[in-house]
């Protein structure tokens, strides 16, 4: 099903009737536009008079030093390169809605996570969590599911993902060889994992180009 952010916001708002805090998971493969859609969704909810903000999964990337020690630096972005426990704890703190929560944000230009870079206030009603593996049906990721009130999965054809991912890395000035390594050796491997092994969402959004 194809659905725009305004329509999606209306469905989410209806599902949240009577709730003072509502956490939505927006998941999808690398290159599916999760961050953009999450931001658009928050803006659409704000246009409806709601308080909404985005909690990005990418803020829980493990540090490059730890990945180097584990031999995982080349696979940065794969499920095993994230602090899932930290993300789970953060979601539980956000769920409580009893005080301000500061969450990390990933700086892609420097490939590092910045701690305490975004504020989630107690009166923010809608929290839009976005990330590749939020609905992955494999431990430890599968333990996140009960923390979400509604789940959305973006499904994009692999050919379109490849086109977007190549353009992304070109924008960061990577060489053709570096782009091929990142896209085919990591990004599309992760994309197939998300598309094939995510749990059934409440709402599936099928994308084209």
> Where are the chain's structural domains?
5-206
Helical H runs in the chain?
5-15, 34-47, 64-70, 84-96, 158-171, 176-182, 188-197
Closest among 31, 32, 9, 26 to 207, alpha carbons compared: 32
Q: Considering only CA atoms, which of 205, 209, 207 is closest in space to residue 1? A: 205
Residue 179: predicted pLDDT: 94
- Please, which residues have CB within 8 angstroms of residue 99's CB and are 6 or more apart in sequence? 122
The reported pLDDT for the residue numbered 209 is: 56
pLDDT for residue 1 is more than 60? no
pTM, two decimals, is 0.94
pLDDT digits (tens, 9 = 90+) for 68-117: 999 999 999 999 999 999 999 999 999 999 999 999 999 988 889 999 99
| pLDDT beyond 90 at 208 | no
Positive or negative, the CA dihedral 103, 107, 108, 113 is negative
Q: Which fold has domain 5-206?
A: Rossmann fold (3.40.50)
Q: Return the pLDDT at 178.
A: 93
Three-state DSSP state, 17: coil
Let me know: does 136 contact 193? Beta carbons within 8 Å.
yes
Each residue of 185-199: pLDDT tens digit?
999 999 999 999 999
Q: Give yes or no for a contact between 59 and 104, defined as CB atoms under 8 angstroms apart.
A: yes
Cis omega (within 30 of 0) for bond into 122:
no
């Amino acid at each position: 099903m194809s659905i725009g952010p305004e329509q999606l916001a209306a469905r989410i708002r209806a599902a949240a009737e009577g709730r003072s805090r509502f956490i939505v998971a927006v998941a999808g493969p690398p290159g599916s536009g999760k961050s953009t859609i999450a931001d658009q969704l928050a803006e659409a909810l704000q246009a409806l008079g709601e308080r909404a903000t985005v909690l990005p999964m990418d803020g829980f990337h493990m540090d490059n030093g730890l990945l180097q020690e584990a031999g995982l630096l080349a696979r940065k972005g794969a499920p095993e390169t994230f602090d899932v426990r930290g993300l789970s704890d953060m979601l539980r703190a956000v769920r409580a809605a009893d005080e301000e929560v500061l969450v990390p944000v990933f700086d892609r230009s420097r490939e590092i996570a910045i701690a305490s870079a975004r504020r989630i206030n107690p009166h923010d009603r809608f929290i839009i969590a976005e990330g590749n593996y939020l609905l992955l049906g494999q431990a430890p990721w599968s333990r996140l599911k009960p923390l979400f009130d509604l789940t959305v999965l973006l499904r994009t054809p692999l050919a379109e993902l490849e086109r977007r991912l190549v353009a992304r890395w070109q924008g960061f000035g990577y060489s053709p060889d570096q782009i091929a390594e990142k896209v085919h050796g990591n990004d599309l491997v992760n994309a197939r994992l998300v598309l094939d092994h995510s749990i059934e969402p409440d709402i599936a959004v099928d994308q084209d180009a």
